[in-house]
Amino acid sequence: MSTGAALVLLAGSVARFGKVVCQPDMDAPRDHNTTMEAPLPMHIAMFPWFAMGHFIPYLHFSNKLAIRGHKISFFIPKNTLNKLQHLNLHPNLITFFPINVPHVDGLPHDAETSSDVPFSLVPLIATAMDQTEKQIELLLKELKPDILVHFLYLTLGMDQEKAKEKD
């Protein structure tokens, strides 16, 4: 894969189900070199569902990717960062990008993840996560990762056609 290729990975939970749906960018330039060269390190953005049961497997997956030399940009709610920093085994390759979770009516003001609220309020966490769309879009434009891994449920502006229109 050439470094200019874009790939979006939609993961229900990579670690739990072990399945990933890949959507290659068909307009991206292709490298048809058939020699057995070592793959180039890639820049991978991780955007898991706002739940500890997703952050931890995504971070374990990130650590595995970092072992292979890949650079990881990990999007995480600002106040949740301290709970996970100790699991980052490769701080030279895995960078956390704190996300400000907007307040949604009905959510406690400090709620950022599904573990911060009763089950009945989890849909409001989804609403708050959807409202991070502009922050995520700005980060993706700035960072220009080769791959984005995010939770399939999200309705964020991750559509490749939408992204192409904005360029």
> What are the structural domains of the chain?
43-150 (3.40.50.2000)
Residue 55 has pLDDT above 90, yes or no: yes
What pLDDT, on a 0 to 100 scale, did the predictor assign at position 23?
A: 42
What pLDDT, on a 0 to 100 scale, did the predictor assign at position 104?
A: 95
- Secondary structure (H, E, C), 96-145: EEEECCCCCCCCCCCCCCHHHCCHHHHHHHHHHHHCCHHHHHHHHHHHCC
Higher pLDDT residue, 151 or 120? 120
A 10 A CB-CB count for 50 gives 26
SS3 helix, strand, coil % of the chain, rounded to 5? Answer: 40, 20, 45
Residue 142 has pLDDT above 60, yes or no: yes
Q: Is 106 left (phi over 0), alpha (psi -120 to 50) or beta?
A: left
Which neighbouring-strand residues pair with 47? 150
What pLDDT, on a 0 to 100 scale, did the predictor assign at position 33?
A: 52
pLDDT confidence band for 18 (50 / 70 / 90): very low
**In whole angstroms, how far apart are CA 165 and each of 49, 68, 85, 109, 133?**
26, 33, 36, 35, 16
Instruction: Quickly tell me which residue has 């995504």 as its tokens.
Output: 58
What pLDDT, on a 0 to 100 scale, did the predictor assign at position 8?
A: 47
Residue 26 has pLDDT above 70, yes or no: no
Q: How far apart are the C-alpha atoms of 2 and 162, rounded to whole Å?
A: 22
